[in-house]
Structure 1
Amino acid sequence: MFNTNTLTRFQGLETPFYYYDMALLGQTLQACADASAKYNFHVHYAMKANFNTKVIDKIQSYGFGADCVSGGEVKAAIEHGFSKDKVVFAGVGKSDKEINEALDKDIFCFNVESVQELQIINDLAKAKGKTASVAIRINPNVDAHTHHFITTGLEENKFGVNTWELPAVAEALAKCTNLRFLGIHFHIGSQITDMGVYKNLCVRVNELQQWFEERNLPIKVLNLGGGLGVDYMNPDENPICDFEAYFKVFNDFLNVKPDQEVHFELGRALVAQSAALVSRVLYVKNGIKKNFLILDAGMTELIRPMLYQAYHQIENLSQESRIKNQEVLSPESGIWPLIKYDVVGPICESTDCFRKDVDLPESFRGDLIVVRTAGAYGEVMASGYNLRDRVQSVYSE
Structure 2
Amino acid sequence: MTVFPIEKFKKLQTPFYYYDMDLLEKTLSLVNEESEKYDFNVHYAIKANANDRILEKIRQKGFGIDCVSGYEIKKALEIGFTPDGIVFAGVGKADWEIELGLKHDIACFNVESLPELEIINELAQNAGKKARVAFRINPNVNANTHHYITTGLDENKFGISMTDLEKVIDRMKELNHVEFEGMHFHIGSQITDLDNFKDLCLRINELQDWFISRHLFPRIINVGGGFGIDYEDPESHPVPDFSSYFKVFKDFLDLKSGQEVHFELGRSVVAQCGNLISRVLYVKEGVKTRFAIIDAGMTDLIRPALYQASHKVQNLTNPGGEKKKYDVVGPICESSDSFGKALDLPEMKRGDFVAIRSAGAYGEVMVSRYNLREEPKAYYSDTI
Q: Shorter-chain-normalised TM-score: which range?
A: over 0.9
One-letter code of the match for 1:351? S
Contact 1:145/1:192, CA 8 A, preserved across alignment: yes
Aligned to 1:340: 325
- Structure 1's consecutive aligned runs of 4 or more residues displaced over 6 angstroms after TM superposition are none
| Native 8 Å contact 1:118 1:172 kept in 2 | no
Give 1:78 deviation, angstroms.
Answer: 1.3
Alignment of 1:362-373 (within 5 A): 362-373=347-358
Q: CA deviation at 1:2?
A: 4.2
SS of residue matched to 2:284: strand
Residue number in structure 1 paired with 2:238: 239
C-alpha deviation, 1:63, in angstroms: 0.3
Native 8 Å contact 2:2 2:20 kept in 1:
no
> AA paired with 2:379?
V
Is 1:106 aligned to 2:105, yes or no? Answer: yes
- Quick one: distance in 1 between partners of 2:134 and 2:17? 36
Amino acid at match of 2:227: L
Distance in 2 (alpha carbons) for counterparts of 1:315 and 1:227 = 26
Shift of 1:95: 0.3
Partner in structure 1 of residue 137 of structure 2: 138
Give 3-state SS (helix, strand or coil) of 1:247's partner.
helix
| CA distances 1:223-255 after superposition (whole Å, capped 9, x unpaired) | 000000000011000000111100000000001
1:392 corresponds, among 364, 371, 377, to 377
Give the AA of the match of 1:74: I
Residue of structure 2 in register with 1:218 after alignment: 217
Aligned to 1:96: 95
| TM-fit CA distance, 1:360 | 1.0
Task: Give SS of 1:201's match.
Answer: helix
- Note the C-alpha offset of 1:288: 3.4
Q: What are the Cα deviations for residues 86-132 of structure 1, in whole angstroms up to 9, with x where unaligned? A: 10000000000110011101100000000111000000000010000
**Distance in structure 2 (CA, Å) of the matches to 1:23 and 1:8:** 20
CA deviations on 1:159-211 (whole Å, 9 max, x unpaired) are 00000001111112101110010000000000000010000000000000111
For 2:26, give the aligned amino acid: Q
Aligned equivalent of 1:294: 293
The equivalent position to 2:342 in structure 1, one of 319, 342, 357, is: 357
Q: Which residue of 1 aligns with 2:61?
A: 62
CA distance in 2, matches of 1:288, 1:93: 48
Q: Matched residues in 1 for 2:230 and 2:167: separation?
A: 41
* Shift in alpha-carbon separation, 1:129–1:21, aligned structure 2, 3 A: same
Structure 1: unaligned runs, 5 residues or longer: 324-335
Secondary structure of 2:147's counterpart equals coil
Per-residue displacement from partner, 1:4-48 (whole Å, max 9, x unpaired)? Answer: x61111111110000000110010000000000000000000000
Aligned-residue sequence identity (percent) comes to 57
- Inter-partner Cα distance in structure 1 for 2:175 and 2:57: 38
1:358 maps to amino acid: L
2:150 matched residue in structure 1: 151
Which is greater in Rg?
1
Residue aligned with 1:210, SS: helix
Gaps of 5+ in 2: none
1:83 is aligned to 82
Q: How far apart, in 2, do the equivalents of 1:264 and 1:226 lie? A: 6
Supply the AA of the counterpart residue of 2:334: E
Q: Show the counterpart of 1:332.
A: none
TM-score between the two structures when normalised by the length of structure 1: 0.95
Deviation at 1:337, TM superposition (A): 2.2
Which whole-Å CA distance do the structure 2 matches of 1:283 and 1:358 have between them?
Answer: 16
Letter in 2 for 1:219: P
Matches of 1:171 and 1:252 in 2, distance apart? 32
Secondary structure (helix, strand or coil) at the match of 2:258 reads coil
The count of residues paired between Structure 1 and Structure 2 equals 382
Secondary structure of the residue aligned to 2:7 is: helix
Deviations 1:354-392 (A, max 9, x none): 100111111111100100000000000000000000111
Match of 1:333 in 2: none
TM-score by length of 2: 0.98
Secondary structure of 2:76 counterpart: helix
Partner amino acid, structure 2, of 1:393: A
Distance 1:310 1:71 in 2: 28
**Equivalent position amino acid for 1:312 in 2:** H
Matching of residues 1-397 of structure 1 within 5 Å? 1-3=1-3, 6-320=5-319, 323=320, 336-397=321-382
Cα-to-partner distance string for 1:306-353 (whole Å, 9 max, x where unaligned): 000101000000112xx4xxxxxxxxxxxx521100000000001100
